[in-house]
Amino acid sequence: MKKNITILGCGRWASFHAWYQATHLKNNVLMWGRSGDPIYENLSITRKNDFWQLPEDVLLISDLDKALGHSDYIFVIISAQGMRSFSKEIAKTLQNVFEKYIDENPSGVPNCKTFVLCMKGIDEQTNQTLTQTLRDAITDELSSVNEHLSKICVWVGPGHIQEFLEGQPGVMLVDGEDKEIVQRIATEFRSDTMKLYVGDDLIGAEIGAAAKNVLGIAAGILDGSGMPSLKGALMARGVYEVSKLVQAMGGKQLTAYGLSHLGDFEATLFSHNSHNRRFGEELIKLITENNWHGPNYYRGYLAEGVATSIALQNLAKKYSVSMPICDMVYKVIHEKKDPFTGFKELFLRDNVNEFGEN
């Protein structure tokens, strides 16, 4: 049976999920974009982007009320650092949708809205995960009755849109607040080309997925510095320090070794399609040419790890966790630490027990 699916966003990953839902699962897909946004405006005129041609039956609108009212499954796929302001907009609009339904159906109860966040990041100002950000906004805006008519999940894991559109199979992870809904999503949205595992550690899945982007930048720095032989050590040591932060925040260390972090990290580490790895490599070029002007100058890059490195730095301090690799990425980007000497010192320092202190 076809489902109505809403996609909030119209960038590359939003395009993938719209393509997957419409093409592989044969669902009714509505894509929302903000009026005036160049990506949305181009898509509304040409009905195509760098990745795919929108089928005629995929709707494209800029009305958020209609987008939220269209479906009980709402996929949110925007820039992670835009999530805080957008969460407030979603919450206010959701309250309007529920109120309109109750006005038209006085004795009825609106269907629960399930939000599926398909982004990886941590808010750089609040240090909150994206589900925490959305949940707080909904709690602030909605009544205690209506608040329970929303559930929040994440869909994360390894893969790049270019590979999926070529027909390569994928394996990803779904986790969330409500385990029954998580299981339903994993079952109903899987296909012959996409297997979905069920997670049981939401904080670990989100922290791991976000931290992957920071370590992806580290991989690019090593590539750009002519030290790719250290990427194996980067993978092993990087995952270990992320697992310690996850545990300190109340999650499970083992989660960092699963699809949300290690699986996705491996896909980033060696792929030319990774924006974070490519950013790290380009960063070395800019530094070498004395053309690095600081992170704010390069906000146009599609590298979420730049902002996430700030949040990880803050979380590591808050939970007293040693994260030397993530700390080095932060120092190179935000404090102009020399990456050549910094990463050599990091990997060639005095011997310590492998699974003791970093």
For 185-221, what is each residue's pLDDT tens digit?
Answer: 999 999 999 999 999 999 999 999 999 999 999 999 9
> Could you tell me the pLDDT band of residue 271, with boundaries at 50, 70 and 90?
confident
pLDDT above 90 for 347: no
For residue 304, the Cα-to-chain-centroid distance in whole angstroms is 8
How large a percentage of the chain has pLDDT more than 90? 73
pLDDT above 60 for 356: yes
Q: Which residue has the higher pLDDT, 142 or 50?
A: 142
Q: What is the mean pLDDT of residues 285-296?
A: 82
Q: What is the pLDDT of residue 318?
A: 97
222 vs 329: CA distance, rounded Å? 11
pLDDT above 90 for 135: yes
pLDDT above 60 for 76: yes
Q: What is the mean pLDDT of residues 240-251?
A: 98
Pair 39, 60: CB distance under 8 Å: no
Q: What is the pLDDT of residue 155?
A: 98
Pair 72, 13: CB distance under 8 Å: no
Average pLDDT score over the chain: 91
> Could you tell me the pLDDT band of residue 17, with boundaries at 50, 70 and 90?
very high
Q: Which residue has the higher pLDDT, 223 or 345?
A: 223
Q: Which residue has the higher pLDDT, 32 or 230?
A: 32
pLDDT above 90 for 253: yes
pLDDT above 60 for 358: no
Q: What is the mean pLDDT of residues 58-76?
A: 96
The bridge status of strand 170-176 relative to strand 59-61 is: unpaired
Q: Which residue has the higher pLDDT, 303 or 149?
A: 149
pLDDT tens per residue, range 90-106: 999 999 999 999 899 98
